[in-house]
Structure 1
Amino acid sequence: MTTQSISESAKFPIADARSVWHEVRRALHGQGTRLITVVATMVVGAALGLVPPWALGRMVDTVIDGNGTGRIWLLGAAMIGAALAFAGFTSLGVILSSRLFETILARLRERMFTTSLSLPLERVEAAGSGDLVSRATDDVEEVSRAISTVVPALSTSLFTVLLTAVGLTALDWRFLAVLVVALPIYVFAVRWYLRKAPAIYAAERAAMGLRAQQVLGGVRGLRTVHAYDLSPRLAERIGSHSWEVVRWSMRARIVQNRFYGRLNSGQFIVMAGLLVAGYLLVGADALTVGATTTAMLLFLRLFAPIDDLLLVIDELQSALASLARIVGVIEVRAAQESEEGEGDEGRTAESRKPRLPSRGALAVRNVTFGYAPGRDVIRGIDLDVAPGETVAVVGSSGAGKSTLAALLAGVRTPDSGAIRFGGVDIVDVPETERAQRITLVTQEVHVFAGSLRDDLALANPAADDAAMEAALRTVLAGDWFDLLPDGLDTVVGDAGHPLTPMQAQQLALARLVLADPPMVILDEATADAGSAGASLLERAARAALDGRSALVVAHRLGQTRDADRILLMENGTVPEEGTHEQLIARGGRYCELWDAWSMHR
């Protein structure tokens, strides 16, 4: 299997029509009264729309019969009243239907967001963060835009077409026959469009997801991009994916134009057929001129809704493609729930899962892992971290240090071997419990938008202000905390009080203190401090780790001296292990790295 095929297979699925309908029905739960109200309002509005053509036809007969102007004024008043009522009921129907469908979209969006947060990080990374982000932004926006454009067209046009067809039939069945004869043209056009368009729109949305992934990757790794002068190569890749989006967009426009051409042909044939039918019926005295006028006005009234109904199929297909991608994310969690079992059976299965102890040793036995089959990044690792012990992991870039950290934290699942905490395999326990026992802190920390109190409460909602302040001072953040304008109420994050990279790392360490896990994994968590703040942040990390078991992926070799034990990683293995003094005395690869670091620090 190629890397490309592996990547494609790891993408979040796209739901089929049955699954989309199931989720929409689920989102409609409790909205039955609102749905009935919408239908009733639109039916009344469409019925009122039949009054003006009928009244105008009666006016024509009144003029021909010479019955005076009084009846004409009465019919005119009826037309005006019906037109105003039609506008009112139609507007109300559009508003009610839009609110109903926005409620459905909001519920689907919430389910997708909840699902995204509950998915293992490994699953999200395998699919690509750009895919998930594009579904949560571009696809949601596409469906929301369709609600504001497609829903009004469908709401008004569908009921108008149905009731107008009833009105034409009441006048004379031959008028309806003209529409029936021309119907195959519209059916052919719609079937052709539905056969061509969905795949193109789905490909367009997928291309947008890949483009978003390239852009997000470049933004998140901006320092690396600048450091290695990767901007031209990155811009070329983004440009390539952008042109892929353009290519699919152009194919979609071509299909649209061909669809519109077929619709125009159908409109011409229907218009000509109705004119001929009206001429023959009036000539044969089968209908009055007024009745024929009513029929033509009804058709003209029908003409625009049919166009609107068919033309919004274009936007509807795009929205349905986006909706299928949204539901596809929801299905990932649904599939996991079905595997684990639901209801009492699921709760029983959950209760049978082993629980991690509050403290214990971390034991790694013969662990092997690779991001692609046949390409192992970690090979046969054995490791023990005793309660309260600090183990440092060093090695050159690409040795597998961060991958090992992700495996021990449960972010990745080993291909073979076992990782146990307190004798329990961490793969077998719920993710939330695993995170409470083994916490991973990386150099990529996030400051959430909101007050500093809310940011800290994410780690421990029960913590009071005193505990939060104590946690900040534990990690040596008291100096800048005391200068905040509103203390814990200070808004941080986007559009708030800016925090430096070092302060953001201290905030992450303060969260760690509040969460109080027995085992901590620091993956180069002090790497972004810069030389000026390195010593302070390293002391903050030591204070946060006090009394806990820890595995520290060291960015600077100076961090290793205080560790109880040091592992040197090379090519996914651990060729050297021991204390700092033991490894220096051995004169191996660690000694070489230490000498090189000592010379250039």
Structure 2
Amino acid sequence: MNKRLRRGARQATKHPHPANNPKSRAHSRTTLPVAEPRDVRRATVRLIRTDAKAFTAVLALNSLAAIAGLASPWLVGRIIDEVRRGGGTSAVDKLALAILMAATAQLLLARWARYVGHRFGERTLARIREEFVDRTLALPASVVERAGTGDLTARGTADVATVGTTLRDAGPELLINSVQVLFLLGAVVALDPLLGACGLLGLAGLWPVLRWYLRRARTGYLAEGTATSDVAEILAATASGARTVEALRLERRRVTASRDALETSRRTRLHTLFLRSVFFPSVEIAYLVPVATVLLVGGALHARGTISLGTVVAAALYLQQMVGPLDEILMRVEQLQSSGASFARVEGLAQAPRATDADSPTPADDRIDVTGVRYAYDRGGEVLGGVDLTVRPGERLAVVGPSGAGKTTLSRLLAGVDAPSAGSVTVGGVPVVALGPEVLRRQVVLVTQEHHVFLGTVRDNLRIAEPSATDEELWAALTAVGADAWVRLLPDGLDTALGDGGCRTDGSQAQQLALARVVLADPHTLILDEATALLDPTTARHTERALAAVLEGRTVIAIAHRLHTAHDADRVAVMENGLLTELGTHDELVAADGAYAALWRSWHGERPASPGTARA
């Protein structure tokens, strides 16, 4: 029992599980759904049907192994009866040899069944991983951002790993032991119906304990998983924003939040440990009841001469032999509660909003219309207070304004990352948020200063945007953004591995790779939200001009923090306090002597900038 409790505690530590506890959820910002038990059951049946032949083979082999295991107790009973009748050693030797053969057959069949079961589990786990990746990539960007990295990371790592352990180990073991228990019970009933009834009556004591445990386990493990996701989210956010935390002196606040999350996680883990500490000792006691009952009743029947001693011993051995499979089943049932909760989280992505191209409408042209757009974040005030803007196909538009004016929010709405609270953002007369991911990628691409270098080669990183691109096209894209020089200096050129274990890239190189991907994607509209902020001024200007040349004829919307971008644009839009206050060419706005003119003069150092307009 202690071994099982320690094993359960280790599993809880290694494989954190999902949660649905309101108390824990209060600290979580996840909006991703968790599948209901019926959905998990349907998904399980679907996975079994996909590999039905292997699953049938597992059942058949387990059944044959269980049948072979039935021989030994019956043969032991025959040996006892043979000895009591005064039979010779020849008969006993033959029965002993039969026991050895039956045990060998059971061993070989069980080993074969486990092998087939593990292969079935690995193939099924591969399907689950592929489905998870497909579903994650189909999630709208806004859903992913609101869910947070902690929840998705926990689902894609710990939860999937827990499901994999169940499919590889717990599932086959549960099948094997369930079949053994059924055959052992059937053997006791076949020996003597009355002894079989006594055995079943003794096992009935397991039901109340099992029911008590199952009614609490799923909620407990779901709560434990939610708490674990919250811890992961807080740690990830603190680590990624470490410089901001330090600059704003938020260390104590982040430490307090981390401690609160860890305390919630500790309480949920102690709760599941309490459930196991009640469940397993009760089970240990319940195991003794059927064996003791059969021995008492069987002894009384034997004393009356209505049953042979060999039959009583065989029945007791069958029930004693049942302890191992039952013990394994109940342990696997405990494991299934945690893995079932994990599977509910993994399968829950199927219920999340998905962006698909199947029913995506086709825009009539590349014209972008922003009409009466308002937007407010969930826990903040209104960021955009009614914006009207039309971006003509092929136009280069610069959006400038002080920090907090709503520029980045507007860019996210234009790219379809978020949907406006009111009003509409359309491309070619179609709402941007209604476009499927592939259609949207061909229409609008948003490039920010936050870039990611994927594990793989330079070629892999670039072909994410266009899988069919040739090496010549890859080099052309790198040349367009000024990245060809340093890529040619890499040990293996395009085949050089990047990321952990490979060549490291700095922020400016990561930005150039991201911009090269944009060139390969070749969208109709490109939104640059400070996309060259990490580049030095000279390289940034060269890259922006190179991009402008490559994207000639495309619509380019640049969130400008360097006003030379606005100077080169066809039109400039000025944002202030969530409103579009000025719109026109650079020369027109400078002549108007308004907010843009003040920004321009401040940028050139002609006079101090007015409050709130120090940064474009």
- With structure 1 as the length reference, what TM-score do the two structures score? 0.90
SS at match of 1:50: helix
Query: Does the CA contact (< 8 Å) of 1:356 and 1:434 recur in 2?
Result: no
- Number of paired residues? 585
Give the conservation status (yes or no) of the 8 Å contact 1:442–1:522.
Answer: yes
Map of 2:309 onto structure 1 = 289
Is the CA contact 1:185–1:262 (under 8 Å) kept in the aligned structure 2? no
Indicate if the aligned counterparts of 1:519 and 1:549 stay in contact, CA closer than 8 A: yes
In the aligned structure 1, how far is the partner of 2:47 from the partner of 2:508? 44
State the alpha-carbon separation in 1 of the partners of residues 283 and 599 from structure 2.
74
User: Match of 1:58, SS?
Assistant: helix
How many Å separate the matches in 1 of 2:554 and 2:253?
44
Q: Is the 8 A contact 2:199 2:319 kept in 1?
A: no
1:569 maps onto 2:575 in alignment: yes
Please say if residues 356 and 433 of structure 1, whose CA atoms lie closer than 8 Å, have aligned partners that are also in contact.
no
Residue from 90, 99, 107 that aligns with 1:70? 90
1:39-50 alignment, distance < 5 Å: 39-50=59-70
Give the CA deviation at 1:425: 3.5
Q: Which residue of 2 aligns with 1:141?
A: 161
Pairwise mapping of residues 191-590 of structure 1 onto structure 2 (< 5 A)?
191-332=211-352, 350=359, 354-357=361-364, 360-372=366-378, 375-530=381-536, 533-590=539-596
Confirm or deny: 8 A CA contact 1:354 1:428 kept in the other structure. Answer: yes
Classify the secondary structure of the residue corresponding to 2:87. Answer: coil
After superposition, the Cα gap between the structure-2 partners of 1:217 and 1:370, relative to the gap in structure 1 and judged at 3 Å, is: same
| Rounded Cα–Cα distance in structure 2 between residues aligned with 1:250 and 1:175 | 41
Q: Deviations over 1:79-115 (max 9, x none)?
A: 1111111111112112222322333332233222211
Query: How far 1:163 moved relative to its partner?
Result: 0.6
What is the distance in 2 between the residues matched to 1:237 and 1:566?
A: 43
Give the stretch that moved more between structures: 14-23 or 553-562: 553-562
What fraction of aligned residue pairs are identical, expressed as a percent?
37
Q: Secondary structure of 1:86's partner?
A: helix
Task: Give the counterpart letter for 1:117 in structure 2.
Answer: L
CA distance in 1, matches of 2:604, 2:250: 30
Instruction: State how far apart, in whole Å, the 1-side matches of 2:217 and 2:344 are.
Output: 14
2:208 to 183, 188, 199: 188
| Distance (Å, rounded) in 2 between the aligned partners of 1:39 and 1:362 | 60
Report the CA distance between 1:410 and its aligned residue.
1.1
Report the Cα offset of residue 502 of structure 1.
0.8
Determine whether 1:177 maps to 2:183.
no
Q: CA deviation at 1:186?
A: 0.8
Q: 1:70 to 1:422 in 2, by over 3 A?
A: same
- Contact 1:93/1:155, CA 8 A, preserved across alignment: no
Partners in 1 of 2:220 and 2:73 — Cα distance?
41
The code of the aligned residue for 2:210 comes to: V
> Secondary structure of 1:372's partner?
coil
CA RMSD in angstroms comes to 2.7
Report the more deviating stretch, 406-415 or 12-21: 12-21
Query: Where do residues 11-30 of structure 1 align in structure 2 (5 Å cutoff)?
Result: 11-30=31-50
TM superposition shift of 1:158: 0.6
The structural deviation recorded for 1:35 is 2.0
- How far does residue 195 in structure 1 lie from its aligned partner after superposition? 0.8
**CA separation of 1:428/1:406 partners in 2, compared to 1, >3 Å: closer, same or farther?**
same
Pair 1:206–1:523, CA change in 2 (3 A)? same
Shift of 1:176: 1.6
One-letter amino acid matched to 1:166: G
Kindly indicate whether the alpha-carbon contact (under 8 Å) linking 1:7 and 1:126 is maintained by their aligned counterparts in 2.
no
**CA distances 1:293-329 after superposition (whole Å, capped 9, x unpaired):** 2122111101221122122221110011111111111
Secondary structure of 2:558 counterpart: strand
CA distance in 2 between partners of 1:61 and 1:579 (Å): 107
> For residue 265 of structure 2, what is the amino acid of its counterpart?
V
Kept after mapping to 1: 8 A contact 2:383/2:406:
yes
Gap runs ≥5 in structure 1 = 341-346
Contact kept, 8 Å, 2:203 with 2:287, in 1: the verdict is no
In structure 2, what is the Cα distance between the partners aligned to 1:380 and 1:434? 24
Q: Aligned to 2:568, what secondary structure does the other structure show? A: coil
Please, which moves more after superposition, 116-125 or 22-31? Answer: 22-31
Aligned-pair CA distance for 1:9: 9.2
Displacement of 1:373 in angstroms is: 8.3
Hey, what's the Cα distance between the residues in 1 that align with 2:390 and 2:594?
Answer: 22
Residue aligned with 1:567, SS: strand
Does the 8 Å CA contact 1:409/1:435 hold for their aligned counterparts? no
1:148-183 per-position Cα deviation (integer Å, ceiling 9, x unaligned): 442243122111111111111122122222222223
Amino acid at match of 1:486: D
Match of 1:38 in 2: 58
SS at match of 1:168: helix
Deviation, structure 1 residue 532: 7.4
In structure 2, do the counterparts of structure 1 residues 314 and 5 end up closer, same or farther at CA, with 3 Å as the change threshold? closer
Counterpart-to-counterpart distance in 2, 1:9 and 1:222 = 20
Distance 1:26 1:284, change over 3 A: same
Amino acid at match of 1:500: D
Structure-2 separation of matches of 1:141 and 1:429: 34
Deviation of 1:49 (Å):
0.8
> Cα deviation per residue 1:381-418 (whole Å; 9 max; x = unaligned)?
11122233222222233221111101001111112222
Cα distance in 2 between the residues matched to 1:498 and 1:242: 33
Q: How does 1:86-101 map to 2 (within 5 A)?
A: 86-101=106-121
Q: Residue 133 of structure 2 aligns with which residue?
A: 113
Is the alpha carbon distance of 1:163 and 1:476 closer, same or farther for their aligned partners in structure 2, counting shifts above 3 Å? same
Tell me the distance in 1 between the aligned counterparts of 2:550 and 2:257. Answer: 41
The 1:333–1:562 alpha-carbon spacing in structure 2 relative to 1, beyond 3 Å, is closer
> Secondary structure in 1 aligned to 2:336?
helix
Helix, strand or coil: the match of 1:363?
A: strand
Counterpart of 1:150 in structure 2: which amino acid? A
Pick closer, same or farther for the CA change 1:571–1:42 going to 2, 3 Å: same
Structure 1 segments, 4+ long, off by >6 Å, are 4-10
Q: Confirm whether residue 155 of structure 1 aligns to residue 155 of structure 2.
A: no
Q: Could you tell me whether the CA contact under 8 Å between 2:203 and 2:289 is conserved in 1?
A: no
- Secondary structure of residue in 2 paired with 1:368: strand
TM-score between the two structures when normalised by the length of structure 2: 0.88
How far off its partner does 1:525 sit?
A: 0.6
Distance apart, 1:598 and its partner CA:
4.1
Q: Displacement of 1:229 after TM fit?
A: 4.0
- Counterpart CA distance in 2 for 1:147 and 1:368 is 48
Say yes or no: does 1:82 pair with 2:95.
no
SS of the residue aligned with 2:204?
Answer: helix
Structure 1 position 198, deviation (Å): 0.9
- 1:535 to 1:232, Cα distance in 2 relative to 1, 3 A: farther
